Structures are given as C-alpha cells and as structure tokens.
Amino acid sequence: MPLRIITYPHPTLRRKALPLRRVDAELRGMVAEMFELMYKHKGCGLAATQVDLPYRLFIVNESGDPGLKDEEFVILNPVLSKHKGSEEDEEGCLSLPGLYAQVRRPAQVSLEAFDLAGKPIRLEAKGRFARVLQHENDHLDGVLFIDRLSPTQLLASKDQIAEFETEFAQRRERGEIPGDAQIAARIAELEAQRS
C-alpha cells in the first residue's frame, strides 16, 4: 500500500516514535517514497509519523527543490542538543495543510543521528535549517507546531483546526480512515517488525 500524508487529528501524529534498530531494502523504499510525497506536496521536511509509520526517522531538504539532491538528509534516531538563542518565524505543516503561524524556537541546535547507511551524522544548524530539524523532530515525539503557539495565535487558528477535526471525522464516518483500535494494532505490528 503506497504511503500517504496523514492529517490532523490522526492518532499516529500524537504517538511517540520508536528508535530504528535496522535498515533494510523495505525501509529504503519507504524513504524514497517519503521524498516523492514531500516534493509533491511542496514540503521541505517529512517525518515518518506523518506517513503513519512509528519510526524515529525524518527527511529534510531545506530548499524543497528535488533537483538539489545534495541538500537531502535522511535522519534516523535523531538527538537534538545545545539549543541556543531564540527566534520567531512562520511555520506550516504538511499534516495541517494551509495553516501557518509564527512559532518561537531556538535559533541554533546540534543534531546527532544516523543516515541510511548507518553512518553517524553530526550537524550544527541555525536559522531555517535549525527550525526544520526541530519541527520534524517534534513530530517524532507526537508534538505538532500548533502545540507551540501562544494562546492568542491558537485562538486565531481555532477555526482552521476545527475544520481539520470535522473533515477527519467525516472521512472516518465514510470508512476512509480506520478506527483508533485498528490504527493502534497496525502500528504495534510495524513496531514489532523493526524492534
């Protein structure tokens, strides 16, 4: 079954992802599919939880340009540290399409992770790149950018968020989205395959 981007309030978006223990051809195929989806939806980052996968994995191309392959990163089991400074900038999310808001985040972060070949990655990031890394890493902990909004910003976004909730409920009623128990069983099966 092809991967697709799930939208708020899908329960997988609130689930804490598990560390990956092994990389195989199937996972590499999933990563390739994630890049296709990210570019198709004009994104610059995509976390595994956004495609209904329970793994600590995200992809990034800060430029969002599929032609710039040297800007692509596959990040497995990330750990962010050395948060410095603070800056506010606009964020959006492929799982909350069309919703944008100002989000305050550290201006600089350090990242340690692994790539698809199992090689360690160490990055010092600042500005937009640091923001993208933090946004995607949040997804792996079940945190969405709307969780980081001020009460005033959240109030301003309330109607759009309610629309996502209504649309999700309607799609579930039509049988397009499985129930929570089915989703949890599928996630547990996926986790067991890679533990």
**How confident is the model at residue 22, as a pLDDT?**
87
Instruction: List residues with catalytic annotation.
Output: 136
Structure tokens belonging to residue 23: 């990389």
Type of residue found at 181: A
Structure tokens belonging to residue 147: 């969780």
Q: Are 58 and 17 in contact (CB under 8 A)?
A: no
Interatomic CA distance for residues 36 and 150, integer angstroms: 33
Max CA-CA distance within the chain? Answer: 47
Of 157, 29, 53, nearest to 102 by C-alpha is 157
Q: Which helix (H) or strand (E) holds 190?
A: helix 180-193
Q: Give pTM, 2 decimals.
A: 0.94
**How confident is the model at residue 123, as a pLDDT?**
94
How many residues does the structure list for the chain? Answer: 195
Give the three-class secondary structure for 21. Answer: coil
Q: Are 25 and 41 in contact (CB under 8 A)?
A: no
Interatomic CA distance for residues 131 and 116, integer angstroms: 22
The tens place of each residue's pLDDT in the chain, 195 residues long, gives 789 999 999 999 999 999 998 889 999 999 999 999 999 999 999 999 999 999 999 999 999 999 999 999 999 999 999 999 999 999 999 999 999 999 999 999 999 999 999 999 999 999 999 999 999 999 999 999 999 999 999 999 999 999 999 999 999 999 999 999 999 999 999 888 876
